[in-house]
Chain A
Amino acid sequence: MNRNATLWFIVAILVAAGIGTALLRHDATQLPWLPGENESIWLVEARVDFYATGGPVTASLSIPETAPGFSIFNEQAASAGYGFAIVTDANDRRGEWTRREASGAQSLYFSASFLPGNAKEDSKRGQLPIPAPEPVFWDAAQVTAATELIEAARSTSSNDYSFAREINERVATPTQNAALLLAKSDSPVDLMRKLLTDAALPTRDVMGLPLEDARRRQSLVPLLEFHDGEQWRLVDPGKGVIDTPENLLLWHRSGRSVLDVIGGQNSRLSFSIIRQSVAPVELLEARTKNSLFAQLGVHRLPIEEQSMFKLLLLLPLGATVVVFFRVLIGLQTTGTFMPVLIALVFLQTELVPGLISFVSVVLLGLLMRGYLSQLNLLLVARLAALIVLVIFVISALSVIGYQLGFSTGMVITFFPMIIIAWTIERLSILWEEEGPRDVLIQGSGTLMVAVVAYLLMDSTVIQHLSFNFPELNFVLLACILAMGQYTGYKLFELHRFAPLRNLGHK
Chain B
Amino acid sequence: MKLISPGALSRFGMLGINARNLDFIGRYNQREQYPLVDNKLKTKMIAQEHQLAVPALRFSLTQQHDVEATIQQLDTMSGFAMKPAKGSGGRGIWVITDRRDGKFVKSSGIVVDHDDLRRHMSNTLAGLYSLGGGADSVIIEDLIQLDPRFDGLSVEGIPDIRVIVFKGYPVMAMLRLATHQSDGKANLHQGAVGVGLTLEEGHYANAVQNGHPIQEHPDTQKPLNQIAIPEWPTILYLAAQCFEVTGLGYLGTDIVIDRDRGPVLLELNARPGLAIQLANNCGLLPRLRHIEGLRETPRRDAADRVHYSIEKLSKL
Partner-B contacts on A (CB < 8 A): 327, 330, 376, 378-380, 429, 433-434, 485-490, 493-501, 503-504
- A494–B18 Cα gap in the complex (Å)? 13
Contacts of A503 in B (CB 8 A): 206, 213, 281
Partner-A contacts on B (CB < 8 A): 1-6, 8-10, 12, 14, 16-19, 22-23, 91, 115, 119, 122-123, 126-128, 133, 190, 206, 208, 211-213, 277-278, 281
Question: Given contacts A490-B17, A493-B16, is CB(A501)–CB(B4) below 8 Å?
Answer: yes
- Do residues B128 and A494 form an inter-chain contact, with CB atoms below 8 A? no
Shortest C-beta distance, B90 to chain A (Å), equals 9
What 16 additional pairs, Cβ within 8 angstroms, besides A489-B10, A494-B3? A378-B126, A379-B126, A379-B127, A487-B18, A487-B23, A489-B14, A489-B18, A493-B16, A494-B9, A495-B4, A497-B4, A498-B2, A499-B278, A500-B4, A500-B278, A504-B12
Question: Given contacts A379-B128, A494-B4, A499-B211, is CB(A489)–CB(B9) below 8 Å?
Answer: yes
- Do residues B190 and A434 form an inter-chain contact, with CB atoms below 8 A? yes
Shortest C-beta distance, A419 to chain B (Å), equals 14
Question: Given contacts A380-B126, A495-B2, A499-B278, is CB(A488)–CB(B211) below 8 Å?
Answer: no
- Do residues A488 and B4 form an inter-chain contact, with CB atoms below 8 A? no
Question: Can you list 6 A-B contacts with CB-CB less than 8 angstroms, sorted by A residue number?
Answer: A429-B128, A433-B91, A496-B211, A499-B278, A503-B206, A503-B213
- A495–B9 Cα gap in the complex (Å)? 11
The listed residue (A330, A433, A434) touching B17 by CB distance below 8 A is A330
- Do residues B16 and A498 form an inter-chain contact, with CB atoms below 8 A? no
Question: Given contacts A327-B18, A376-B119, is CB(A489)–CB(B6) below 8 Å?
Answer: yes
- A215–B127 Cα gap in the complex (Å)? 58
- A501–B278 Cα gap in the complex (Å)? 11
Shortest C-beta distance, A423 to chain B (Å), equals 13
- Do residues A500 and B12 form an inter-chain contact, with CB atoms below 8 A? yes
Contacts of A496 in B (CB 8 A): 211, 278
- A378–B127 Cα gap in the complex (Å)? 10
The listed residue (A376, A380, A433, A493) touching B9 by CB distance below 8 A is A493
- A486–B23 Cα gap in the complex (Å)? 10
The listed residue (B8, B119, B190, B206) touching A501 by CB distance below 8 A is B8
Shortest C-beta distance, A437 to chain B (Å), equals 11
- A433–B190 Cα gap in the complex (Å)? 9
- Do residues B212 and A485 form an inter-chain contact, with CB atoms below 8 A? no
- A488–B285 Cα gap in the complex (Å)? 12
- A197–B137 Cα gap in the complex (Å)? 100
- A500–B2 Cα gap in the complex (Å)? 11
- Do residues B126 and A487 form an inter-chain contact, with CB atoms below 8 A? no
Contacts of B212 in A (CB 8 A): 499
Contacts of B2 in A (CB 8 A): 495, 498
Question: Given contacts A379-B126, A489-B16, A504-B12, is CB(A495)–CB(B1) below 8 Å?
Answer: yes
* Smallest CB gap from A494: residue in B: B3
Question: Given contacts A429-B128, A487-B23, A504-B281, is CB(A495)–CB(B3) below 8 Å?
Answer: yes
Contacts of B9 in A (CB 8 A): 489, 493-494, 497, 500
Question: Given contacts A330-B17, A488-B18, A503-B281, is CB(A498)–CB(B122) below 8 Å?
Answer: no
- Do residues B281 and A490 form an inter-chain contact, with CB atoms below 8 A? no
* Smallest CB gap from B189: residue in A: A434
Contacts of A495 in B (CB 8 A): 1-4
- The 8 tightest CB contacts between A and B, nearest first, are A379-B126, A487-B19, A489-B16, A498-B2, A498-B4, A494-B3, A503-B281, A487-B18
* Smallest CB gap from A327: residue in B: B18
Name, among B17, B119, B212, the residue most crowded by chain A CB atoms within 10 Å (CB to CB). B17
Shortest C-beta distance, B3 to chain A (Å), equals 5
Shortest C-beta distance, A317 to chain B (Å), equals 22
Contacts of A489 in B (CB 8 A): 6, 9-10, 14, 16, 18
* Smallest CB gap from A491: residue in B: B3
Contacts of B5 in A (CB 8 A): 494
- Do residues A485 and B22 form an inter-chain contact, with CB atoms below 8 A? yes
- A378–B125 Cα gap in the complex (Å)? 9
- A492–B208 Cα gap in the complex (Å)? 18
The listed residue (B123, B190, B211, B213) touching A379 by CB distance below 8 A is B123
Shortest C-beta distance, B190 to chain A (Å), equals 7
* Smallest CB gap from A506: residue in B: B281
Contacts of B213 in A (CB 8 A): 499, 503
The listed residue (B14, B17, B126) touching A500 by CB distance below 8 A is B14
Shortest C-beta distance, B192 to chain A (Å), equals 13
Contacts of B278 in A (CB 8 A): 496-497, 499-500
- A79–B257 Cα gap in the complex (Å)? 91
Shortest C-beta distance, A2 to chain B (Å), equals 13
Contacts of A497 in B (CB 8 A): 4, 9, 14, 277-278
- A500–B196 Cα gap in the complex (Å)? 13
- A504–B14 Cα gap in the complex (Å)? 12
* Smallest CB gap from B126: residue in A: A379
- A261–B210 Cα gap in the complex (Å)? 89
Contacts of A330 in B (CB 8 A): 17
Contacts of A486 in B (CB 8 A): 18
Name, among A327, A499, A500, A503, the residue most crowded by chain B CB atoms within 10 Å (CB to CB). A500
Shortest C-beta distance, B66 to chain A (Å), equals 15
- A489–B285 Cα gap in the complex (Å)? 13
Name, among A330, A429, A433, A490, the residue most crowded by chain B CB atoms within 10 Å (CB to CB). A433
Question: Given contacts A498-B3, A503-B206, is CB(A488)–CB(B17) below 8 Å?
Answer: no
- A503–B9 Cα gap in the complex (Å)? 12
Contacts of B3 in A (CB 8 A): 494-495, 498
Name, among B4, B8, B91, B278, the residue most crowded by chain A CB atoms within 10 Å (CB to CB). B4
Shortest C-beta distance, B18 to chain A (Å), equals 5
- A327–B18 Cα gap in the complex (Å)? 7
Contacts of B4 in A (CB 8 A): 494-495, 497-498, 500-501
- A151–B56 Cα gap in the complex (Å)? 120
- A497–B22 Cα gap in the complex (Å)? 20
Shortest C-beta distance, B150 to chain A (Å), equals 25
- A378–B22 Cα gap in the complex (Å)? 38
Contacts of B281 in A (CB 8 A): 500, 503-504
Shortest C-beta distance, B270 to chain A (Å), equals 19
Shortest C-beta distance, A434 to chain B (Å), equals 7
- A486–B17 Cα gap in the complex (Å)? 10
Contacts of B211 in A (CB 8 A): 496, 499
The listed residue (A376, A434, A488, A504) touching B6 by CB distance below 8 A is A488
- A495–B211 Cα gap in the complex (Å)? 10
Question: Given contacts A494-B6, A496-B211, A504-B12, is CB(A487)–CB(B128) below 8 Å?
Answer: no
Contacts of B128 in A (CB 8 A): 379, 429
Shortest C-beta distance, B305 to chain A (Å), equals 26
- Do residues B119 and A490 form an inter-chain contact, with CB atoms below 8 A? no
- A255–B184 Cα gap in the complex (Å)? 95
Contacts of B206 in A (CB 8 A): 503
Shortest C-beta distance, A504 to chain B (Å), equals 6
* Smallest CB gap from B275: residue in A: A496
Contacts of B8 in A (CB 8 A): 501, 504
* Smallest CB gap from B128: residue in A: A379
Contacts of A434 in B (CB 8 A): 190
* Smallest CB gap from A380: residue in B: B126
Shortest C-beta distance, A363 to chain B (Å), equals 22
- Do residues A493 and B17 form an inter-chain contact, with CB atoms below 8 A? yes
- Do residues B16 and A488 form an inter-chain contact, with CB atoms below 8 A? yes
- A486–B16 Cα gap in the complex (Å)? 11
